[in-house]
Structures are given as structure tokens and as C-alpha cells.
Amino acid sequence: MALWKPDPSFYPSAKMAMQAPPERHAYVAALNTGGGKPDAICVVDLEPGSDTYSQVVHTLELPNIGDELHHFGWNACSSALCPYAPHPHLERRYLVVPGLRSSRIYIIDTKPDPRQPQIVKTLEPETVMAKSGYSRPHTVHCGPDAIYVSAMGSANGDDGPGGIFLLDHFSFEVVGPWELDRGDQKLAYDFWWHLAEDVLISSEWAKPSQFENGLVPEDLLANKYGHRIHFWDLRKRKLKQSVDIGAEHQMLLELRPAHDPTKHYGFAGVVVSTEDLSASVWTWYRENDEWQMKKVITIPPVPADEADLPPALKPFKAVPPLVSDIDLSLDDRFLYVACWGIGELHQYDVSDPFNPKLTGKVEIGGIVAKKGHPKKSWPLLGAPQMVEISRDGRRVYFTNSLYSSWDDQFYPEGMTGWMVKVNTDPDGGMRLDPDFFIDFGTTRVHQVRLEGGDASTDSYCYPS
């Protein structure tokens, strides 16, 4: 009799996941703006020595036009081993791929051939909105009990709050909205959790009308974008506490909790301060049974000639860093911070989460700098944006597109898509891999998912 075994890419602890074999391929969200072409999921060869290394080996075109692929995630991960809702016989097999603009969700099967993924189910916008009460699905996380999806808008767009809804692990049908008591939470964006503490954390970006057609300068200067972080009772689905970090800290976006479940802290990235155009990273932590936030990294703007700036930035005569993504290595040691405005990826040692130390930096692209790559020496548009770290922490991949309308505002020359790789040193430091550069042409690329999991996919319920 055959024995059922958990998916070999599920690991009880982050330390065990770090010992996994290296990834051989990546799935990349590819966006086609204009021209009547659909978006796609591209498969990239990551295996050194392969004849097709650093190349797109397959492109799965979607059947609809205008989805605006953005973030996506796996149907199952190491959280399936968590003791309060174990599902050890799930497989990390399907990609859950939302269209941020269309509110459509594709379920894509990566088995039996990981390099030839196929669409097996489509949730149409009308179904998603009717069953969940939400629109503009954004972040996907594989939870122990269901697939969690954040959404930026209500079913009626700006008329109601954004939030979280659930998909069934097996049928992929919409179960319904997650929140039972949301308090005064209205804006949504990212979310993650401390599973062992029954705590969910969520952040804030904007209403659909504030991002779909580009950044709204009047709303930014009036501090109308998100600047709060929310802490929820995960089991009771109830908002317990919100922390306002100050209205000037606009767009509190990416959340990266410590991977070790015995550590009750995490990091949040803030895009821009309306006081001085700086960007920042904050640490959340619990003290006397209350959640607190502390700013631990500040990245200043770079002065620039007005003639070199896009119209949106000319009045400021400077380039803001625009921290648009952060990512934390599985050993909780290194935090990577993408500065999409100035064209830099920073590496910080966060062994002490309250005193980060800058240990590495690479420069590529940037609104003014437009620095090239060893394989592509001409000026590059875009900059480090979506960051993904291999499980062992030795390789970092990133792409250059943020969101189509924002790309056009900040890089009006006409951005093309590219993906690069950074090699890291175990004790800090990193450098661009001179042999890895993928030029996607007019197709723009956003989130990257790695075979077998990565540093922003899995949750672990056992300590390292």
C-alpha cells in the first residue's frame, strides 16, 4: 500500500528549508500594456550550466486582455504542516494568479511539466466580486486552512473597504470574506502573520481610484494614502489594534515578518515621506502586550536637475528612493530593500532588528541614473522593484516594473521589462551576476516565484 507523504518542498522550519536543493526555474508575471496583447506567466531557466540558462523557456499567454498581472502565489506551502489546521497532503502545485485590474483569478497547474504550466480554472470577476465582496485582488498567501487573498477595493470599487477573502484549498472556489469585525480599517494592501501567535498583520496602499490611473499627486500631498498597520486576531478574524506611523509616511506597503515563529517582530516598508521625500523601513514588535512601530532605516532622496526629472518630480528637484519592496532571508539575517526611484538594491544585516547595518548595495536603472548591466551596458529604465530570495539566501532575483500607470509616470521614456540576479556572500555583501540578464522587450515583468518556494512564500510553525 502506498504511503501518503507531505510535499517534499514543505519544511517544518525555515532552517530546514534553507538546506533544500537550489531552484531550477522561476515563474514571472509578465504584463503587456497596450497593443492588444494579453498578459502572461513566463518560465525562466535558473539552472547554471543549462543550455537555456538565463532565458525564458516558456510563455503561457492568458486568454484575456487587460488583466494587469501583479502579485501571485502558490496554493500550498510549508504552512500546511502547522498543527492547528494541518493539510500535509496538499501539493505545492498550483499558482494562484490574480489580475489586479480585471479582478479575474487564474489557477495555473505547474504539474506534470513545470516548464509547461497550464490554466485549469478561471474565476471570473463577477464571481469573485459576488462571493467575496471585494475587487482588485492583490496578494496571495497559502495559509494552513485556506488560500488567503487581499483585495484593494470593494465589489463596488471605492464605495467600501478593501480587505481579505478566502479560496478553498481543493476546489479554488471563493469561500467568502475573511473579516468578521474590521473596526475602522478601510485601506488594504499586503498582509502576513505570526501563525503561532494567532496574529495577522495588514498594511495600506490606496483606493483603486488612487492607483489605477497613476499616483494622484494631490492625494499624496494631502497625505491621503495609507499610513497605518493593523494587527488582527487570526482565529477570531477581528481587528485588535492599529498603529498610525504618521500621516506624512505615505504608502505603508510590504510586510515581512520574521520566519522563526519564536520571534514576534517584522519589517514594513514605507514608499515616501511627504516631509522630505525620504523612504523608510520600520520594525514592528510587541511590548507590554501592545504592538509598537519603530523606524529603523531612513533612505534620503537624491538631488537632481529639474531637466532630468519626469513631470511628477520636477517641482521637487530630487529623486525619492521610492522603497517599493522589501524581502527577508529565511535565516532572518538579511533584509533587502528595493529603491525603485534611485535605482539601488540595499542589503542590511538585521540580526538586531532595531539596528540594521548596511552590508551591500547594487546599482542598476533609476529615474535619473539609468545605470546599465554588464550584459546590457546601455541605460536601463526601471529599477529594482519586486525582490525574491532563494531559500538558501545566496541568490536574489528582481524585476523592474511597479505598476503600468506608475511606470509611465516615473519612467515616461517607455519602460521595457528586465530581470536580473544578485549573488550574495554568506556574511554580507552582494554583486550583480554578470551573466544573468533577461530582456523581456516591451513586456514588463513584476513578481517572481521560485520552484519549491522562496523567502516571501512560506510560513513556518516550528523554530529553527
Query: What integer pLDDT is reported at residue 164 of this predicted model?
Result: 98
Report the candidate in 302, 293, 395 with the shortest Cα–Cα distance to residue 342.
Answer: 302
Q: Name the residue ranges covered by the structural domains of the chain.
A: 15-450
Report the candidate in 295, 310, 250 with the shortest Cα–Cα distance to residue 274.
Answer: 250
Query: What integer pLDDT is reported at residue 2 of this predicted model?
Result: 45
Locate 201 and state its grid cell.
Answer: 498583520
Cβ(391)–Cβ(199) below 8 Å: no
Query: What integer pLDDT is reported at residue 33 of this predicted model?
Result: 87
Query: What integer pLDDT is reported at residue 394 of this predicted model?
Result: 98
- What's this model's pTM, rounded to 2 decimal places? 0.97
**112 upstream amide cis, omega within 30 of 0:** yes
Distances (CA, A) of 271 to 282, 300, 364, 398, 456: 11, 11, 19, 18, 19
Query: What integer pLDDT is reported at residue 34 of this predicted model?
Result: 78
Q: Are strands 344-349 and 334-339 parallel, antiparallel or unpaired?
A: antiparallel
pLDDT per residue of the chain (464 residues) written in tens, 0 to 9:
444 678 999 999 999 999 999 999 999 999 998 778 999 999 999 999 999 999 999 999 999 999 999 999 999 999 999 987 778 789 999 999 999 999 999 999 999 899 999 999 999 999 999 999 999 999 999 999 999 999 999 998 888 899 999 999 999 999 999 999 999 999 999 999 999 999 999 999 999 999 999 999 999 999 999 999 999 999 999 999 999 999 999 999 999 999 999 999 999 999 999 999 999 999 999 999 999 999 999 999 999 999 999 999 999 999 999 999 999 999 999 999 999 999 999 999 999 999 999 999 999 999 999 999 999 888 999 999 999 999 999 999 999 999 999 999 999 999 999 999 999 999 999 999 999 999 999 999 999 999 999 999 999 999 98
Query: What integer pLDDT is reported at residue 262 of this predicted model?
Result: 97
Query: What integer pLDDT is reported at residue 1 of this predicted model?
Result: 40
Query: What integer pLDDT is reported at residue 157 of this predicted model?
Result: 85
CATH class for the domain made up of 15-450: mainly beta
Cα–Cα distance for residue pair 165/177, rounded to 1 Å: 4
